[in-house]
Amino acid sequence: HLSEKEVKMAKSVEAKSVDAVIRQYLADKGCVMSPPKTKNGETGADIIARHDKRRWFVEVIGFQEVPPLRSREFYEAFFRVISRDEDNPDDTLVLGLPKRFKQGMKQRMKHYGVAWQKLGKAFPNLVIWYVDTEQNKVEEYSWLVPVD
């Protein structure tokens, strides 16, 4: 079991960096956003953004170098973001990931096979945003087609 310090050291991309890029991206779209979380363990979406009738519920994670921790964080964020679904067609559920996640996404999809597709059909408003924290860019993908 890793200590909290070891877990922090294992992160090559911090969630707060991903959060900052997404906030700027949404601000550029004209969105109004919830304030950033200031304490670990705060509940609620990492970011709730609004523009007209549209809302984005965003869960953000960093990139762990330790594969089991990386997987755990991915699935925890996945379940947190789908728990925000209120069956409103104007809402988008966003899983905000460091761009490095994109490299392993085909393998992750293949591993879960038909279940991945069923999740995409059950949550058609679920998307993945890959965030390049060095270039301050966001790439938007649907859950069903999370890579090129």
pTM of the complete model: 0.90
DSSP E strand stretches across 99-146: 126-132, 137-142
pLDDT for the residue 38 = 77
pLDDT for the residue 120 = 95
Alpha carbons within 13 angstroms on the beta-carbon side of residue 14 total 5
pLDDT for the residue 12 = 86
β-bridge pairing 126-132 and 54-60:
unpaired
What averages of pLDDT result for each successive group of 10 residues across the chain (148 residues)?
57 91 98 87 89 97 92 95 95 97 94 95 97 97 94
The answer to whether residues 7 and 69 touch, using CB atoms and an 8 Å cutoff, is: yes
pLDDT for the residue 47 = 97
